[in-house]
Amino acid sequence: MVDIYVLPLKYKEFKKIINFMIRGLHVETKTILIKNAIIIGDEIKKGSLITENDKISEIDYSNSSLNHADEVIDAEGKVLSPGLVNTHTHLSMSLMRGLADDMPLDTWLNDHIWPVEANLDGEHCYAGAMLACAEMIRSGTTCFNDMYFFMDHVADAADKAGIRGTLSHGMIDLGDEEKRKAEFKETQRIIDKCHETADGRIKVAFGPHSPYTCSRELLEGVRKEADKQGLRIHIHVSETQKEVEDVMEASGKRPFEYLDEIGLLGSDVLAAHAVWLDEDEMDIIKERGVALSHNPASNMKLASGVSPVSKLLEKGICMSLGTDGAASNNNLDLLEEMKLAALLQKVTTLDPTAMPAQKVFDMATRGGAAALGLEDEIGTIEVGKKADLILVDMKSSSLTPLRNPISHLVYSANGADVDTVICNGEMLMKNRELLTINEVEVISRAEEASEDLLSKL
């Protein structure tokens, strides 16, 4: 027997479910057409490119077939490059820009940075990270690799800004067991809360600070957990000579040998700095497939030394580029960093052919992607890859005449020449106007946060 009072209700429910299913199947597509751009793809040629949602869907060098999209950008006079990848940052440290310059690393850390960091809270970190996101987008960075504190607040900033990032809580135990437990707990909290959020733009890695601030137990625990959870590891290694001496005194081994002995090294590890290396360590890095982040400005400013980048590249080690925090750089401009990286290798090796422009450009793009395990998604302009793209305006006095776009990007351009930025198919900046960030508000909030931190000293 059919219950006639219930039937209409059932029909309504049924209709509701069907409608819900239809809505679920109907994925709205969003397209952007960039035409007349000089595209840095497999070759460097003028053409058009279409993005569909988060990906690059079409590249056409004949300039004929592509005409329609939701948004059309005429990129005449502009170079279309993959978004830059900054593989070593401390975004929230932008609040400490210019706080203390011209001193050795240990004085800088002990007397100036750590006392300020002792009073940090999530609000400060959000304000600093948002400021850094504005600066990175303005200067063409679409992906970063960050290590710091209150990383859920950093994730929040990156999510709102629309940028891509891998985040790690900086773990330091200095041999203290209680502190070690707390560091694993905080790392796990960040993983559970932030990993694979913001449409997959935000990922979380383990961030043991360094072999001199982390105990062997902490480092071994990180390797175990990273394997178990399938997450990457971000660590500072061999930044200064003193650090190498300290690790040798404590372990009897050089830093990379020590890390290898305890089983930390692998192709999921990104080591920042790697300035002081001997031949055996370079071979270990190569064998284990460890990726490195070269930070020339920070290394020069803190007089840490010169990483043997030309040699590391010759050995086929995965090399990428980072700015380090704005407190030791003092900006996050990767275009500037590319030039510094090239010049530093040339003057140190007394060889002008060392570190040619194309090599350093590769480090800032595909090298960075590979160092973060994202080589299948970003780092080059290819159909099917994520639409992380930047347009650099070449119609300026400092970039004329345009003969070799790679040479201009490395040696002549700086962040201020970046005109338009797209990340994950979303427009973050157009004609130098930030679209996801209220810059006036972000600057004033960062100023307040910085004042607040200094007032607590």
List binding-site positions for Zn(2+): 88, 90, 236, 324
Least distance in angstroms from the C-beta of 444 to Zn ion: 27
Least distance in angstroms from the C-beta of 142 to Zn ion: 20
Range in contact with Zn ion (rule: CB under 5 A) among 57-65, 318-326, 384-392, 412-420: 318-326
Least distance in angstroms from the C-beta of 292 to Zn ion: 13
CA-to-CA distance for 296 and 340, rounded, in angstroms? 6
Centre a 10 Å sphere on the Cβ of residue 174 and count the other Cβ atoms it contains.
Answer: 12
Q: Which is nearer to Zn ion, 173 or 324 (CB)?
A: 324
Q: Which is nearer to Zn ion, 324 or 377 (CB)?
A: 324
Q: How many residues bind Zn ion (CB under 5 A)?
A: 1
Least distance in angstroms from the C-beta of 341 to Zn ion: 16
CB-based contact 321:86 (threshold 8 Å) = yes
Least distance in angstroms from the C-beta of 88 to Zn ion: 6
Q: Which is nearer to Zn ion, 237 or 406 (CB)?
A: 237
CB-based contact 427:83 (threshold 8 Å) = no
Q: Which is nearer to Zn ion, 325 or 425 (CB)?
A: 325
Positions of E strands within 140-273: 141-148, 164-171, 202-204, 207-208, 233-237, 269-273
Q: Which is nearer to Zn ion, 324 or 417 (CB)?
A: 324
What strands, in cross-sheet order, belong to the sheet with 319-321? 233-237, 269-273, 291-294, 319-321
Burial call 369-380: b when 16+ CB within 10 Å, e when fewer = bbbbbbbebbbb
Query: Which parts are annotated binding residues?
Result: 88, 90, 117, 209, 236, 239, 324
Q: For the CA atoms of 430, 434, 437, 440, what is the dihedral angle to 10 degrees?
A: -160
Of how many residues is the chain composed? 457
Q: Which is nearer to Zn ion, 324 or 393 (CB)?
A: 324
Range in contact with Zn ion (rule: CB under 5 A) among 19-27, 274-282, 317-325, 331-339: 317-325
317 CB-near residues (< 8 Å, 6+ apart): 282, 285, 286, 290, 291, 292
Strands 426-430 and 418-423: antiparallel
Q: Which residue is nearest to Zn ion (CB)?
A: 324
Q: Which is nearer to Zn ion, 54 or 324 (CB)?
A: 324
Task: Give CA angle at 301 (297, 307), nearest 5°.
Answer: 55
Query: Which parts are annotated binding residues for substrate?
Result: 117, 209, 239, 324
Least distance in angstroms from the C-beta of 73 to Zn ion: 36
Show contacts with Zn ion in window 226-285 (CB under 5 A): none
Which of 407, 388, 389 shows the shortest CA–CA distance to 398? 407
Show contacts with Zn ion in window 319-348 (CB under 5 A): 324
CB-based contact 259:285 (threshold 8 Å) = no
Q: Which is nearer to Zn ion, 48 or 299 (CB)?
A: 299
Q: What is the DSSP letter of 180?
A: H
Least distance in angstroms from the C-beta of 350 to Zn ion: 29
Least distance in angstroms from the C-beta of 325 to Zn ion: 6
Q: What is the DSSP letter of 29?
A: P
Using DSSP's 3-state secondary structure scheme, residue 28 falls into coil
Task: Give CA angle at 371 (367, 372), nearest 5°.
Answer: 120
Least distance in angstroms from the C-beta of 244 to Zn ion: 16
Q: Which residue is associated with the tokens 């300035």?
A: 275
313 dihedral zone (left: phi>0; alpha: psi -120 to 50; beta): alpha
Using DSSP's 3-state secondary structure scheme, residue 268 falls into coil
Concatenated DSSP letters for 54-121? TEEEEEESSSSS----SEEEE-TTEEEEEPEEEEEE-GGGGGGTTSS-SS-HHHIIIIIIHHHHTT--
Contact string (CB under 5 A) for Zn ion, positions 278-297, x = contact: --------------------
Q: Which is nearer to Zn ion, 93 or 413 (CB)?
A: 93
Least distance in angstroms from the C-beta of 257 to Zn ion: 22
The site for Zn ion (CB under 5 A) is made up of: 324
